[in-house]
């Protein structure tokens, strides 16, 4: 029975994705830019030909909702596919403050296409991963990746590409955990209510391309001051937009604001660093490697836990 195993790392967006121009195809309203992060990873094995469709996550049977999303993506790999068995596991806790859906769908599509004998280019894999979860489009690539908004109605040009690989820049991402519990509202639902009700949504969509261009240039130039300004602006604009929705989509906790203050005061002391936040209260700080331990110690004074992550490689087959 054809079997393949793939590994992928999660990623954190520096210029954010929030909102969809097509919900069925999972097409974004704005382009985004991210850093793929090691050593955390998802490992997924796909057996192409099984007695029944079956999915196991970290040793437990997947919920009906989890399985539905995964098998819908496998239908796109091959609409005449046989029954398939999927075994997947993360080597990082679900409460680590990183989206396991980004590494999860990237590893899934790579393993599935290999097991099915349908090799695809990284861009085609990125399109497939996007259908499972938008941020997964970026985890196909290592290092610094950009996910293009695209123009085509069928979404085939809305995929990620590599801006620079994981060796490009000696930085770390310090992840400060302020709440390990499940989120109050999923990204998908949060995006929908923002898009439908936030008066700031059109302004968010209009402002994003400029930030993306500035972010891309800052990454290429290894300019942490410039990238930091873009990162914080993109995160603040995304959160301001969702906070203005009805009902509000509000992920911040008091610790999140404390961490933002700590980053500003470190910068005033001459430590180059900048924060970002996603659909949760945790704060992620980009910093040159030489200062990562100092930032981790400072955030560790208040955060529940701190992880120090490094740029990771692309999704890859391991068996």
State the residues that interact with ligand 2P0 by CB under 6 A.
13, 16-18, 26, 32, 99, 101, 133-135, 187-188, 278-279
Question: Strand 54-57 to strand 84-90: parallel, antiparallel, or no bridges (unpaired)?
Answer: parallel
Please say which residue, 9 or 298, places its beta carbon nearer to ligand 2P0.
Answer: 9
Whole-number minimum distance, CB 134 to ligand 2P0, in Å?
3
According to DSSP, the residues that pair with 84 across neighbouring strands are 48
Q: Minimum distance from CB of 90 to ligand 2P0 (Å)?
A: 15
Query: Within a 13 Å sphere around the CA of 38, how many CA atoms are in the beta-carbon half?
Result: 17
Smallest distance, ligand 2P0 to C-beta of residue 235, A: 8
CA–CA distance, 216 with 143 (Å, rounded to integer):
13
What's the rounded Cα separation, in Å, for the pair 170 and 192? 37
Cβ 136 to ligand 2P0 shortest distance, Å:
7
Question: Could you tell me the smallest distance in angstroms from the CB atom of residue 188 to ligand 2P0?
Answer: 4
User: What b/e string do you get for 202-231 counting C-beta neighbours within 10 Å, with b at 16 or more?
Assistant: eebbebbeebbebbbebbeeebbebbbbbb
For the CB of residue 27, give the shortest distance to ligand 2P0 in the complex, in Å.
Answer: 10
Contact present, 291 and 273 (Cβ < 8 Å) = yes
- Measured CA to CA, the distance from residue 146 to residue 159 in angstroms comes to 8
3-state secondary structure of 84: strand
* Closest separation in Å from C-beta 82 to ligand 2P0: 26
Q: Is the CB of 18 or the CB of 40 nearer to ligand 2P0?
A: 18
User: By C-beta, is 5 or 276 nearer to ligand 2P0?
Assistant: 276
Q: Cβ contacts of residue 222 below 8 Å, gap of 6+? A: 168, 169
Nearer to ligand 2P0, 13 or 176 (CB): 13
**Whose CB is nearest to ligand 2P0?**
134
Do the Cβ atoms of 36 and 310 come closer than 8 Å? no
Least gap, CB of 204 to ligand 2P0 (angstroms): 12
Specify the residue, 38 or 294, whose C-beta has the smaller distance to ligand 2P0.
38
Q: CB of 270: closest distance to ligand 2P0 in angstroms?
A: 29
Please, which residue, 5 or 139, has the CB nearer to ligand 2P0? 139
| Alpha-carbon gap, residue 314 to 109, rounded angstroms | 13
Nearer to ligand 2P0, 115 or 238 (CB): 238
Decide whether 279 or 287 has the Cβ nearer to ligand 2P0.
Answer: 279
CA distance 302 to 179: 12
Nearest to 32 by CA among 125, 127, 150: 150
For residue 305, what are the contacts with CB-CB under 8 A and spacing of at least 6? Answer: 176, 177, 180
Instruction: Check residue 139 and report its DSSP letter.
Output: H
Looking at the Cβ atoms of 134 and 228, the one nearer to ligand 2P0 is 134
């Amino acid at each position: 029975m054809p079997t393949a195993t793939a590994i992928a790392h999660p990623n954190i967006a520096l210029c954010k994705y929030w909102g969809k121009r097509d919900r069925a195809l999972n097409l974004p309203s704005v382009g985004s830019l991210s850093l793929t992060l090691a050593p955390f990873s998802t490992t997924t094995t796909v057996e192409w030909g099984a007695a029944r469709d079956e999915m196991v996550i970290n040793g437990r049977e997947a919920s009906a909702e989890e399985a539905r999303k995964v098998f819908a993506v496998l239908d796109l790999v091959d609409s005449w596919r046989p029954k398939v068995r999927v075994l997947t596991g993360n080597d990082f806790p679900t409460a680590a403050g990183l989206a396991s859906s980004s590494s999860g769908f990237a590893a899934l599509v790579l393993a599935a296409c290999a097991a099915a004998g349908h090799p695809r280019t990284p861009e085609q894999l990125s399109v497939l991963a996007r259908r499972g979860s938008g941020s997964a489009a970026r985890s196909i690539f290592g290092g610094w990746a950009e996910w293009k908004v695209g123009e085509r109605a069928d979404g085939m040009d809305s995929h990620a590409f590599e801006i620079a690989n994981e060796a490009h820049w000696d930085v770390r991402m310090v992840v400060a955990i302020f709440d390990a519990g499940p989120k109050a509202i999923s990204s998908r639902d949060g995006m929908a209510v923002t898009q439908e009700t936030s008066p700031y949504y059109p302004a968010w969509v209009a402002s994003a391309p400029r930030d993306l261009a500035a972010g891309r240039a800052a990454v290429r130039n290894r300019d942490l001051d410039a990238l930091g300004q873009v990162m914080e602006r993109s995160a603040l604009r995304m959160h301001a937009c969702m906070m203005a929705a009805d009902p509000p989509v509000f992920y911040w906790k008091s610790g999140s604001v404390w961490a933002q203050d700590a980053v500003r005061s470190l910068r005033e002391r001459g430590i180059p660093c900048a924060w970002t936040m996603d659909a949760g209260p945790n704060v992620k700080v980009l910093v040159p490697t030489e200062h990562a331990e100092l930032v981790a110690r400072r955030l560790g004074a208040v955060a529940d836990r701190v992880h120090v992550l490094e740029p990771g490689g692309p999704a890859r087959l391991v068996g």
